[in-house]
């Protein structure tokens, strides 16, 4: 028998998940990507002039928009989902309707979030089709949440995480080639006043994209990106991202 082995990888567009604090510029990040089209699950594009579908309020609407992008002719090169944590509400509402319950927590034995992964996988399958067959970069936008992280090697501590149920968050993290955490650069200044020490946060408004995980936040990348990329307002960070992604450097 001859083994069907490949020695050359066929590079594909990246799957990016970006999350961060409110108003940091996540939607603008998506709008500055190559030829983007947005699927909105929350109403937040008023100040951004970009191609987008009508606001989706149901799971069927989101999947319908994805189906249209999969099958109809178009020249879009990037799909932006804005946002996946609002989409999670829509997905859970779909599941509750199917199970005839008011809340996902009403599904017996606490299995609601596990069952919801089937709908998440259906959604991810559509994203993968657009990436693999239509050559589209995938950008999923999420909000950040501060949650307690129980590290088995140390005492627990708070960290920024993606604002999703942990099962859905783990699935999207595994699916993504790049997970970016967007935040402002903050330092602290300590002042000793007698026996009292005060700590003051200091920031200039400078923003940064984190590409590697740290104790304070989740992040990752599969492309040897710099650990931090300045998150400027003019979109120069896209030049930094693209030059490290093999799909966009096929001629080199």
Q: Is residue 21 part of a domain?
A: yes
Could you tell me if residue 139 is inside a domain?
A: yes
**Gap between the Cα atoms of 199 and 174, Å rounded:** 37
Rounded to two decimals, the pTM is: 0.89
**What pLDDT does residue 152 have?**
75
Query: Residue 240 pLDDT > 80, yes or no?
Result: yes
pLDDT tens digits along 120-166: 999 999 999 999 999 999 999 999 999 888 777 777 789 999 999 99
Least confident of 23-27, 70-74, 164-168, 203-207: 203-207
> 172: domain CATH number?
3.40.50.300
Q: Which residue range is the domain that position 70 belongs to?
A: 15-249
Total number of domains constituting the chain: 1
Mean pLDDT of the chain: 89
pLDDT of 190 higher than 80: no
Q: Is 7 within the bounds of a domain?
A: no
Q: Is residue 8 part of a domain?
A: no
Q: Is residue 188 part of a domain?
A: yes
- How confident is the model over 101-116, as a mean pLDDT? 91
Question: In terms of Cα–Cα distance, which of 35, 54, 32 is closest to 43?
Answer: 54
Is the residue at 99 inside a domain?
yes
Q: Does residue 162 lie in a domain region?
A: yes
DSSP H or E run through 86: helix 84-99
pLDDT for 186: 65
Residue 252 binned pLDDT confidence (cut-offs 50, 70, 90): very low
> pLDDT tens-digit profile of 35-62?
999 999 998 787 789 999 999 999 999 9
Q: Is residue 1 part of a domain?
A: no
The alpha carbon of residue 8 and the mean position of all alpha carbons in its chain are separated, in whole angstroms, by: 29
CA–CA–CA angle 97, 124, 48 (5° rounding): 90
């Amino acid at each position: 028998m001859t083994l069907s082995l490949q020695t050359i990888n066929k590079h594909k567009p990246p799957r990016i998940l970006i999350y961060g604090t409110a108003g940091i510029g996540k939607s603008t990040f998506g709008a500055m990507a190559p030829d983007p089209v947005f699927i909105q699950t929350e109403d937040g594009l008023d100040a951004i002039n970009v191609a987008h579908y009508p606001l989706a309020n149901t799971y069927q609407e989101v999947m319908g928009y994805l189906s249209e992008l999969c099958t109809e002719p178009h020249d879009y090169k990037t799909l932006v989902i804005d946002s996946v944590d609002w989409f999670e509400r829509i997905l859970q509402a779909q599941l509750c309707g199917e199970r005839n319950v008011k809340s996902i927590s009403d599904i017996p034995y606490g299995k609601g979030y596990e069952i919801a992964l089937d709908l998440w996988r259906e959604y991810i399958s559509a994203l993968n089709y657009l990436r693999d067959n239509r050559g589209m970069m995938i950008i999923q936008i999420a909000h950040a949440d501060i949650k307690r992280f129980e590290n088995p090697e140390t005492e627990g501590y708070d960290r920024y995480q993606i604002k999703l149920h942990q099962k859905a968050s783990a699935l999207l993290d595994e699916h993504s080639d790049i997970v970016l955490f967007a935040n402002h650069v903050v330092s602290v200044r300590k002042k000793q006043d007698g026996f009292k020490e005060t700590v003051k946060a200091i920031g200039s408004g400078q923003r940064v994209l984190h590409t590697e995980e740290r104790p304070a936040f989740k992040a990752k990348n599969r492309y040897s990106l710099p650990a931090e990329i300045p998150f400027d307002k003019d979109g120069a960070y896209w030049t930094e991202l693209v030059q490290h992604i093999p799909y966009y450097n096929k001629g080199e």
